[in-house]
Structure formats: C-alpha cells, structure tokens
Amino acid sequence: DAKTTQPTSMDCAEGRAANLPCNHSTISGNEYVYWYRQIHSQGPQYIIHGLKNNETNEMASLIITEDRKSSTLILPHATLRDTAVYYCIVRSRTFSSGSARQLTFGSGTQLTVLP
C-alpha cells in the first residue's frame, strides 16, 4: 500500500476553512484515499474517502488532484470541536492475504482550531 506524507501540525482560525494536504505520490490506480480524524482520547472517526473524483459530505470535501498524487481535505467552517489529529490513508481496492496493511495510519496532522 502507498505511503502518505502530511504536515505535522496546522492552525486554523475558527470559522475559516481548514485545508489539510496529503501527499501520496506512490498511489496506484486501485487505491482509495481515506481520511479519518481522532479527537484526543477517542477512537478514530471516519470523515470521507474517494478514488478519483472529488467528494463532499456533511463533514468535509475531498479534493484529489488529477494525477492522484496528492489530496486536500477541506473543513469549510472549522470549529473548536474540529481540533484533532487528521489521518490521510491509502487503501487498496482489493484485499489479499499478502496485503496486510488494510488500514495503515501515518503520523497524521494535528489541526488546532484557534478562537
């Protein structure tokens, strides 16, 4: 499975859009991009995922570049409750017993929303 690179930390003003980048330059055509977040001391929470096209749901938007080598998670109006570690993960479309890393977490980005 492809590896991801994310900035260690970011700040965002409350009410502004938070744009979290992720580099996955070795992604293959059969790998999805998933985003999760983990608020302190809680389990990871699913946010959104996509393959090629941009995606939007009630929580966020996911913008994937045309070459699929990077993506950006957008929280349109960040609130204090969005302060969390955000993980970008690539996950294969197919599973094989040799593909042990069904969902391998990188180091993630600590997003701090400031009042």
Partner 1 sequence: DTEVTQTPKHLVMGMTNKKSLKCEQHMGHRAMYWYKQKAKKPPELMFVYSYEKLSINESVPSRFSPECPNSSLLNLHLHALQPEDSALYLCASSQDLTSGNTIYFGEGSWLTVV
Q: What residues line the site for partner 1 (CB under 8 A)?
A: 30, 32, 34, 36, 41-46, 49, 51, 87, 91-95, 97, 100-108
CB of 5 to partner 1, least distance (A): 13
Of 66 and 94, the one with the shorter C-beta distance to partner 1 is 94
Query: In what helix (H) or strand (E) does residue 31 lie, and over which residues does it extend?
Result: strand 31-38
- What gap in Å lies between CA 109 and CA 73, rounded to an integer? 11
- What gap in Å lies between CA 73 and CA 88, rounded to an integer? 9
- What gap in Å lies between CA 83 and CA 36, rounded to an integer? 13
Beta strands 9-13; 61-64: pairing state: unpaired
Of 14 and 49, the one with the shorter C-beta distance to partner 1 is 49
CB of 101 to partner 1, least distance (A): 7
Of 51 and 80, the one with the shorter C-beta distance to partner 1 is 51
CB of 110 to partner 1, least distance (A): 10
